[in-house]
Structures are given as structure tokens and as C-alpha cells.
A and B are shown apart, each in its own frame.
Chain A
Amino acid sequence: MTDATAGPDVKTGPTPDNAIREAEAASGPVLAADGTPLKRSLQRALRREKMRALMLISPLLIFILVTFIAPIADMLFRSVENQSVSETLPRTVVALKDWDYNSGEAPDEDVFAAFYVDMIEAEEFKIHTRLGTRLNYEHTGISSLFRQTGRAVGRFDTDEYTDAFVDLNEAWEDPVTWLNLMQVSGIEDVLPETASAWQSWSRIVEENNDVLAEEEPEDFLYTTLYRDLMANGDAVASFEGDEAALLQEAAAAVGEWEPVSLKEQFLDIDEDWADPEIWGTIQAFSPNYTPGYFLNSVDLQMTADGISAQPENQRIYLLLFKRTLFMSLMIMGSCILLGYPVAYLLSNLPMRVSNVLMILVLLPFWTSLLVRTSAWKVLLQQQGVINDILVWLGIVADSNRLVMINNQFGTIVAMTHILLPFMILPLYSVMKTIPPSYVRAAKSLGATNWTAFWRVYFPQSVPGIGAGSILVFILAIGYYITPELVGGTTGTFISNRIAYHISSSLNWGLAAALGTILLAVVLVLYWVYDKIVGIDNVSLG
């Protein structure tokens, strides 16, 4: 009766199964009705929807990019950025490359000459103080050294060279002579230092809105010219171009002149310029990017010798990091201990009662953070409410009141209180989804109340604990205001130190490095958590 060639469940004719078989049999990609591949057709159909979705979230996206991603990127950049040395002292940085710190001696005259020109320009633009501040983070005292040097660098004895050149030929006094000379192509090969100094001079003149052709050249130009003529006599001799005769005349004369030692000039300002430590610091921080801030953040320092530990009395950051981690864990732990029973009650009481409780839980959210923290001050201080009660009850002697604030204890108490809702709410939302039938089932199967809770209820509430813990821990680790107010000296967090560097010491690079480390620690902990507990097990409801 049935077609013998067809299998038992294969029918001929148009059936849905046959349509699928035909589609599978046809080779190549599936085509849409108009002949384009179905995949591309589908993509085109979805593209408009995707675009619309993107448009809808674009305000938020832009907002986040501008206010969140960009500042974080800027922070990451700042934590390694170190262009101020190479920007302020470009010639010195180059000259210092050949100097070996381990020689134990200050650099030679060439470095001081480069430094001289750099300082002249830096002083004119008033950026040497900024550099001084930057280097002062690494080596105390550099700031004032730079200030002092900046004031004196214009009054060096190098005017002797100026006088000598002018005495030799009046033309050297004329800015036009210099202008002509410096316009000769290839001059930077013949007079490298002078050409470089001339660039600085042009910038200085421009900054003052003057004209190059009218400004009398300053001493440092004559100094570099002298040094070039002394060094490159041969090149000058074969020089051809404007003012060649003038130049060759000078080249012949300079050998007779009394040299002025720039090194001595600097040493006259401050003996510290003879100290290899200073130069070592400048050398160590001459690259554009430096790990220095990060090293400082972990109580190390980058010296000319390489990386070494900070002096004992300046090591605070590792301690602060450890303390921040420890206290955040303590706060997280006490939030779990205090929050779990509350969340359990909330999710198991009748609606009317649990709503009232919920309001009590949310109450702290509606009160100013400052008010709550201040309230803890009132409660915990030595003349505060709790101590008064304890003394009144005779538990504590009046002379021996408990110190409960401006230390770790106070910070932990206050922050546990403040962060408790962040533990309770995720716990509550998870517990709310655990049907009471699970515990009932466990009991009907013979489990005691405790076994039913521990073996059946608790494991299912773990995702809530996970979510709450991550939330509380991450909030705690970066908390600032409460430790600032009740932390005293032993209860402050790393964030307080970051704030100090942002607003008081203005060492933004270090603040950025500390912030970056904090971010990294959080990310690493998050990763560890994901490995151990699994982030899929975190549930906010």
C-alpha cells in the first residue's frame, strides 16, 4: 500500500519535514526571497533596530565617556606621565645621557652649559619652579634649589664673553648680524649649541612681543657661540655664507680668552649643584614616562642607583593599603553578620510588618551621610553618649573612658552602619525568591530546623551574600568621607591619602598612581571572586 522505497516515517509530497530536507539538500548559503544571502538580509534588517537602540542610549554613553571613562583614562595616564623634565630641560636631558651617576662626581661643563641655556629659557617662561616641585617629590630640597637658581641664572659672569665679542667687532652687538648668521642653512652643523640657543631666544623674544631684529642678544648666546667656536674650529674655518668672515675672525680670537666655567657659576649659587644625587634624580626622571609614582605608591623610590626602599619613616602606603583592605573586609564581615538576619526577617515576615522594617533599613539612605557620621561622633566620643551610659552604669571608670572614635574601631562601626543597606537589599531580593517550600521540603524529609537552614536555605542565599559583599567591599575600599571624619590617624583609608595628594600636596601623579593601584586591586579581587565563587552566582534579585 505505501511506497516501499520511502522509509517508515518519510512521506512524499509537501510536508514541513520535506521542506527542511530540501533546504538542507540545497548547497550553498540559504537565500532570501530576493536572492541575497539570508544572513546579509537579516543583518540589514537588524541594523536599523540596532541603530535606533544605539541612539536611545547615546546620551548616557556620551555622558559616561565624558565623565567616567575619560577621567579614568586621564588618571591612568597621569600616573606614569613625566614630561616636565624633558620639556623643561631638553638639552640637559640629552647631555646627561653620557654622564654616569656611579662615577660619584657631578657632570662636566657640557652638561652645565646645556643646563644654563635650559634654565634661561625656563626662567623666562617661569616653568622651572614647576619642575622643581615635581622633582622635589623625589628628592627633597630640589624645589628651592631651582627657585634660587632661576633667580641667579641671568646674572652669571658670562657677560665677559659678550664684552669680548663686542670688543672684537662691533657687529656682534647688532641683532641683525645674528639674524643673518642664524639664517644660513647648515648653521646647526657648524654652531650646534648656538643654533639651539637661538631657537630659545626666538621663543623668548616672541613671548615678549618683541622683534628679533631689534632685541640685543643676551649673554647666553655669546656663551654658546664661544663654546661652539672653541669646539668646532675646523668647521668654522670652512664655513661659507653670510657673516663668514666675522665668524672666522672670532674663531681665531676665542682661543686667547679667559674661559668662564659655568659649573663654577652654578656652584656659586648653591653647592648642591656639585651633588651627584641631584643630577642623578634629574637623570632618572628624564624619560617621558616613569614608574616613579607607582614605586612611591608601594613605598619604593627610584633613585639614580635604581629602585630602592623608601626610608623607614616615609613608608606609609603599603601600610595604608593593607589597612584599607583589612578594614574593608572587617566592614564587609560585620555587614554580613548584621545584615543576614535582618534580610531573613524582611523576606519571611508578613508584608505589612516587613514594609515597616524595610523603611527602617532604608532610613539611613534618606539621611545625609554627614549627619549620620556626625551622629556616630556624638555617640562614640569619650564624652559621648555611650561612654556616659557605661560610666553611669559603673561598667567603666570615669577616668578610664573607652576610646571608640578616631581609630579603626570608630571607622568600622560608622561604615558598617552606613553600608549595611547595601548588604541587606541584595540579600533581601535573593531571599525573597527562595520559596518557603524548600525549607518545608527539607523538614518533611526529616531535617531539623538548623539542618534545613544550613543545608537548604543558606546555600541558596549565597548569591545574595556574594552580591552584597562585592557591593559593600568595593564601596568600602574607596570610601573617603567617613574615615576622614571618624578615622583619626589609625582609621584612615588610602582614599584619604589620595585626597590629600589631590588637594593639599598637589602631587597628582602620585594620587593617580594610588588610585590606579586601588582600581587594580578591586579588579583583581573581582577576578579572584569570579574564579572562586563565579560571578554568575551573584544575584541582585
Chain B
Amino acid sequence: MVSDAANGAFVEFDRVQKSYDGETLVVKDLNLSIGKGEFLTMLGPSGSGKTTCLMMLAGFETATHGEIRLGGQEINNIPPHKRGIGMVFQNYALFPHMTVAENLAFPLEVRKMGKSEREEKVKRALDMVQMGSFGGRRPAQLSGGQQQRIALARALVFEAELVLMDEPLGALDKQLREHMQFEIKHIADNLGITVVYVTHDQTEALTMSDRVAVFNDGRIQQLDPPDVLYEEPQNSFVAQFIGENNTLSGKVTKMENGRAEVTLDDGEVIDTVPVNVNAVGDKTLVSIRPERVEFNKDRLAPDAHTLKAEVLEFVYMGDIYRTRLRVAGKDDFIVKTRNAPDQRRLQAGEMLEIGWRPQDCRALDA
């Protein structure tokens, strides 16, 4: 899937498979190249194999088949402590019986670094995460966000070029999480380190990553930069998983000029961009983002297909309005509109005609 098996790849998964019980594959034929300095996120629902991939990279799980390379060298048989990969764990895994400074000094100590050098590096790492004055505290005396910073500092203090993060922000509240997302991203950019980040939070993935690998069922479903992933999902799983999405099911009735005409289940016809439908007669799920739906006729192209819709529910959410409609027999069709002075608030029971630009409407696999 990824074509750049170029020599510049820093981390490489080459046809990696993993099975725990010898009967089912948790990771199926994984090929992935990560460039130096890249921030790559593995995103997927639980059980999709993303954490297993991370653990194989860290060395805590062995690949059943295939090769994992780091900087061009095969690391399948190198024990974790010799890989020199920094790692931030889900619950930080700060050693509770050591102070913050001792935690940070630990990786330097096991590398037999001298005391003065150690202290200097610890200090620098603490300053980097703005925790300079917390060296003497115990992890239990820190808040979740502070522990998170220390865990990050610890993974970075021994100057690993690759840092793995396993849902590091999962335990934080929303505001802190958003703040930390930017901070981690900035630190990673400043240091030029390569980061492999695992999360099931798509917002996190979109915010932070250079590229996102969407995992499902042991495979990478799509590997793209966040905007491509969001705007041009390659299959209905990705479309559903990333962001909010409306789907309408139907059949392809005409294919021409890079357009596909889809007849919906209730007989209405719409124009779509064919993504993974091949021929007339294919069943398809049509995907439209809620914010791309338009019900102001003036803004629609004159020849655009429109659908009849009935307003079922209007929810005021502050910055946006979220309206639920009944469209083509489905009553979970969502429209999001910006809260702007000229924006109309729809009333439940109102009848509308809705439309969209054809390129926003993608015919995906059923």
C-alpha cells in the first residue's frame, strides 16, 4: 500500500504477521514504512492490532512472521533493552518508589552514565517539559498532566531517535488532553524525533500526525495525512471511523467521466465520486460529511441533484447547529451548520431540499 519502501525509511514493517494462539492472526500482513522525523499515528478500534504492532516494534511481542527493521537493521531478535526506543505507556508507568529525578535518571544510570552528566540531562529534560522544579517529588504527588510530562521526559531523556506512545493521553480530561496534544507535537518537531503514536481517538490522530494509519481487523485500512484521510476516505470503514459521516445505501446505475450515478434504495438518484465501486450494478454505501450538506438553494449548483428531507431534531451546540433529518427513508442523517449571524435555525417538522457538491459525495464499498 505504501509505495515509499525507499532507502530513507527509518522504521519498516515488512510482511509482518502476528498470532497469539496459532489460529487467528491479530496482525495480517503488515507493510509499513515510517520516515525519519515523522509523526505517525496508528488509529483504530480496540482489537484492531495497533497496540500489538507497537509492542512488536518495542520488542515486547515477537512477530510470528516477517521482518521489522529499525534504521535498516533487522531488530526481530534484539531484546527490548537494546533497541534504544523510548516509550510512553498508557498509564505512564512512572516508578512509584522513585522520585521524578530518579525516574528520569534511570535510563541514564543503566547506560552507566556519569553522575554529573546524568544530572545535567535530567535537568534539561525536566526543563523541556516545564517541570524543572518537580525533580524531588514522587509520581503520586503529581497530577495526571504532570505525570504525563514526566513520562514523556523519561522517554526522551536518553535521546532515543524513535519514541513510541501507547495512548498516552487516555487518562487525562478533555482540556488537558488537547493542550498536551500540541505540546507533544511541538516537542517532537523541535527534537526531530520519530514518533509512533497509538490511539483510538481520531481527533488526537488528526491533530497531531503527519500521517495516520487506520487499523481495522489486523490490517491498515488507509495510510494518509489527516486531511486526505478525512476528505477522501478510501473505504466505508475509514469514512465511518474518522469524523462523523452520513451514509446512504444504493446501487450504481451509471458510470461515466469519473462520475457514478447511484440510485438510492428509495429510488432517488444522486451523483457521486466512485472510490471503490467498479461497475454498474455494484452495491454501494454513499458517504457525505455532515458539514458538506447544503440546504440553501442559492449555494447549490443549478444542476445539482437534491433530495427531500424532513427535519426531525434540531440541537444547538454552541459553535455549531446539529440537525437530524429524515432522508431517503433513513432518519439518522445529520447536518452540521456553523453558528453564523445569517444561519437559519431549522424547526422540527420542516420540509427541505438538501444537496451537496458531487465531489463531496463518495461511493464506497457496501
Is A440 among interface residues, defined by CB-CB distance under 8 A? yes
Which one of A443, A455, A456, A460 contacts B81 once the chains associate, using CB atoms below 8 Å? A443
Contact assessment for A444 and B85 in the assembled complex, using a CB-CB cutoff below 8 Å: yes
Contact assessment for B80 and A460 in the assembled complex, using a CB-CB cutoff below 8 Å: no
Stretch from A136-144, A178-186, A446-454 that touches the partner: A446-454
Which one of B85, B91, B97 contacts A435 once the chains associate, using CB atoms below 8 Å? B91
Contact assessment for A445 and B107 in the assembled complex, using a CB-CB cutoff below 8 Å: yes
The chain B residue sitting closest to A437, CB to CB, is: B93
What's the minimum C-beta distance from A466 to chain B, rounded to whole angstroms?
13
Which one of A437, A445, A459 contacts B90 once the chains associate, using CB atoms below 8 Å? A437
Is B95 among interface residues, defined by CB-CB distance under 8 A? yes
Which one of A442, A445, A456 contacts B158 once the chains associate, using CB atoms below 8 Å? A445
The CA-CA distance from A455 to B107 in the complex, in Å, is 12
Contact assessment for A447 and B110 in the assembled complex, using a CB-CB cutoff below 8 Å: yes
The CA-CA distance from A202 to B196 in the complex, in Å, is 103
Chain A residues closer than 8 Å to B111, beta-carbon distance: 446
What's the minimum C-beta distance from A332 to chain B, rounded to whole angstroms?
23
Interface string of B263-280 (1 = CB under 8 A from A): 000000000000000000
Contact assessment for B89 and A446 in the assembled complex, using a CB-CB cutoff below 8 Å: no
Contact assessment for A440 and B81 in the assembled complex, using a CB-CB cutoff below 8 Å: no
Chain A residues closer than 8 Å to B59, beta-carbon distance: 443-444
Which one of B58, B97, B158, B164 contacts A446 once the chains associate, using CB atoms below 8 Å? B158
The CA-CA distance from A443 to B107 in the complex, in Å, is 9
The chain A residue sitting closest to B111, CB to CB, is: A446
Contact assessment for A446 and B93 in the assembled complex, using a CB-CB cutoff below 8 Å: no
Is A326 among interface residues, defined by CB-CB distance under 8 A? no
Contact assessment for A447 and B106 in the assembled complex, using a CB-CB cutoff below 8 Å: yes
Q: How many residues in B have their beta carbons less than 8 Å from beta carbons of A? A: 27
What's the minimum C-beta distance from B141 to chain A, rounded to whole angstroms?
15
Evaluate whether A440 and B110 lie within 8 angstroms (CB atoms) in the complex, with A445-B154, A448-B81, A460-B96 already known.
Answer: no
Contact assessment for B80 and A440 in the assembled complex, using a CB-CB cutoff below 8 Å: yes
What's the minimum C-beta distance from B152 to chain A, rounded to whole angstroms?
13
Chain A residues closer than 8 Å to B93, beta-carbon distance: 435, 437-438, 440-441
The CA-CA distance from A387 to B135 in the complex, in Å, is 60
Contact assessment for A437 and B91 in the assembled complex, using a CB-CB cutoff below 8 Å: yes
Contact assessment for A440 and B107 in the assembled complex, using a CB-CB cutoff below 8 Å: no
The CA-CA distance from A459 to B58 in the complex, in Å, is 24
**Which of B89, B90, B110 has most A Cβ within 10 Å?**
B110
Interface string of A450-492 (1 = CB under 8 A from B): 0110011001100000000000000000000000000000000
Contact assessment for B89 and A451 in the assembled complex, using a CB-CB cutoff below 8 Å: no
Contact assessment for A455 and B58 in the assembled complex, using a CB-CB cutoff below 8 Å: no
What's the minimum C-beta distance from B54 to chain A, rounded to whole angstroms?
11
Chain B residues closer than 8 Å to A444, beta-carbon distance: 58-59, 80-81, 83, 85-87, 155, 164
The CA-CA distance from A441 to B58 in the complex, in Å, is 10
What's the minimum C-beta distance from B104 to chain A, rounded to whole angstroms?
10
Evaluate whether A446 and B87 lie within 8 angstroms (CB atoms) in the complex, with A435-B93, A440-B93, A441-B93 already known.
Answer: no
Is B60 among interface residues, defined by CB-CB distance under 8 A? yes
Contact assessment for A445 and B106 in the assembled complex, using a CB-CB cutoff below 8 Å: yes
The CA-CA distance from A444 to B110 in the complex, in Å, is 11
Which one of B91, B110, B164 contacts A445 once the chains associate, using CB atoms below 8 Å? B110
Contact assessment for A443 and B80 in the assembled complex, using a CB-CB cutoff below 8 Å: yes
The chain B residue sitting closest to A434, CB to CB, is: B96
Contact assessment for B89 and A441 in the assembled complex, using a CB-CB cutoff below 8 Å: yes
Chain B residues closer than 8 Å to A451, beta-carbon distance: 110
What's the minimum C-beta distance from B156 to chain A, rounded to whole angstroms?
11
The chain A residue sitting closest to B106, CB to CB, is: A445
8 A Cβ contacts from B46-105 to A = 58-60, 79-87, 89-91, 93, 95-97
What's the minimum C-beta distance from B45 to chain A, rounded to whole angstroms?
21
Contact assessment for A440 and B158 in the assembled complex, using a CB-CB cutoff below 8 Å: no
Count, A-B residue pairs, CB within 8 A: 67
Which one of A438, A443, A446 contacts B95 once the chains associate, using CB atoms below 8 Å? A438
Contact assessment for B81 and A446 in the assembled complex, using a CB-CB cutoff below 8 Å: yes
Chain B residues closer than 8 Å to A435, beta-carbon distance: 91, 93
What's the minimum C-beta distance from A212 to chain B, rounded to whole angstroms?
82
Chain A residues closer than 8 Å to B83, beta-carbon distance: 444
Chain A residues closer than 8 Å to B91, beta-carbon distance: 435, 437
The CA-CA distance from A449 to B158 in the complex, in Å, is 19
The chain A residue sitting closest to B79, CB to CB, is: A443
The CA-CA distance from A444 to B86 in the complex, in Å, is 6
The CA-CA distance from A437 to B154 in the complex, in Å, is 14
The CA-CA distance from A456 to B106 in the complex, in Å, is 10
Interface string of B151-183 (1 = CB under 8 A from A): 000110010000010000000000000000000
The CA-CA distance from A449 to B59 in the complex, in Å, is 13
What's the minimum C-beta distance from B159 to chain A, rounded to whole angstroms?
11
The CA-CA distance from A449 to B110 in the complex, in Å, is 12
Which one of B60, B79, B89, B97 contacts A460 once the chains associate, using CB atoms below 8 Å? B97
The chain B residue sitting closest to A440, CB to CB, is: B60
The CA-CA distance from A416 to B238 in the complex, in Å, is 61
8 A Cβ contacts from A423-445 to B = 435, 437-438, 440-445
Chain B residues closer than 8 Å to A443, beta-carbon distance: 59-60, 79-81
The chain A residue sitting closest to B97, CB to CB, is: A459
Chain A residues closer than 8 Å to B164, beta-carbon distance: 444
Contact assessment for B95 and A456 in the assembled complex, using a CB-CB cutoff below 8 Å: yes
What's the minimum C-beta distance from A459 to chain B, rounded to whole angstroms?
4
Chain A residues closer than 8 Å to B85, beta-carbon distance: 444
What's the minimum C-beta distance from B102 to chain A, rounded to whole angstroms?
10
**Which of A440, A448, A456, A460 has most B Cβ within 10 Å?**
A440
What's the minimum C-beta distance from A258 to chain B, rounded to whole angstroms?
92
What's the minimum C-beta distance from A442 to chain B, rounded to whole angstroms?
7
Chain A residues closer than 8 Å to B158, beta-carbon distance: 445-446
Evaluate whether A447 and B87 lie within 8 angstroms (CB atoms) in the complex, with A438-B95, A440-B60, A440-B93 already known.
Answer: no
What's the minimum C-beta distance from A243 to chain B, rounded to whole angstroms?
91
What's the minimum C-beta distance from B197 to chain A, rounded to whole angstroms?
15
What's the minimum C-beta distance from B281 to chain A, rounded to whole angstroms?
50
The CA-CA distance from A161 to B177 in the complex, in Å, is 109
Chain B residues closer than 8 Å to A440, beta-carbon distance: 58, 60, 80, 87, 89, 93
Contact assessment for B90 and A446 in the assembled complex, using a CB-CB cutoff below 8 Å: no
The CA-CA distance from A438 to B92 in the complex, in Å, is 9
The CA-CA distance from A460 to B80 in the complex, in Å, is 22
Chain A residues closer than 8 Å to B110, beta-carbon distance: 445-448, 451
Contact assessment for B84 and A446 in the assembled complex, using a CB-CB cutoff below 8 Å: yes
The CA-CA distance from A132 to B270 in the complex, in Å, is 117
The CA-CA distance from A455 to B81 in the complex, in Å, is 14
**Which of A435, A440, A443, A445 has most B Cβ within 10 Å?**
A445
What's the minimum C-beta distance from A123 to chain B, rounded to whole angstroms?
72
The CA-CA distance from A437 to B87 in the complex, in Å, is 11
What's the minimum C-beta distance from B194 to chain A, rounded to whole angstroms?
15
Interface string of B96-136 (1 = CB under 8 A from A): 11000000001100110000000000000000000000000
What's the minimum C-beta distance from A453 to chain B, rounded to whole angstroms?
12
**Which of A441, A451, A456 has most B Cβ within 10 Å?**
A441
Chain A residues closer than 8 Å to B96, beta-carbon distance: 460
The CA-CA distance from A130 to B81 in the complex, in Å, is 77
What's the minimum C-beta distance from B317 to chain A, rounded to whole angstroms?
26
The CA-CA distance from A527 to B138 in the complex, in Å, is 26
Chain B residues closer than 8 Å to A438, beta-carbon distance: 93, 95
The CA-CA distance from A425 to B241 in the complex, in Å, is 45
8 A Cβ contacts from A339-374 to B = none
Chain B residues closer than 8 Å to A449, beta-carbon distance: 81
Taking A443-B60, A443-B79 as known contacts, 11 extra A-B pairs with beta carbons closer than 8 A to each other, sorted by chain A number, are: A437-B93, A441-B89, A443-B59, A443-B80, A445-B110, A445-B158, A446-B84, A446-B158, A447-B107, A451-B110, A460-B96
In the A-B complex, the 8 residue pairs with the smallest Cβ-Cβ separation, listed nearest first, are A445-B107, A441-B93, A444-B87, A437-B93, A443-B80, A459-B97, A437-B89, A447-B110
Which residues in A have some Cβ–Cβ distance to B below 8 Å?
A: 435, 437-438, 440-449, 451-452, 455-456, 459-460
5 contacts across the A-B interface (CB closer than 8 A): A443-B60, A445-B86, A446-B158, A456-B95, A460-B97
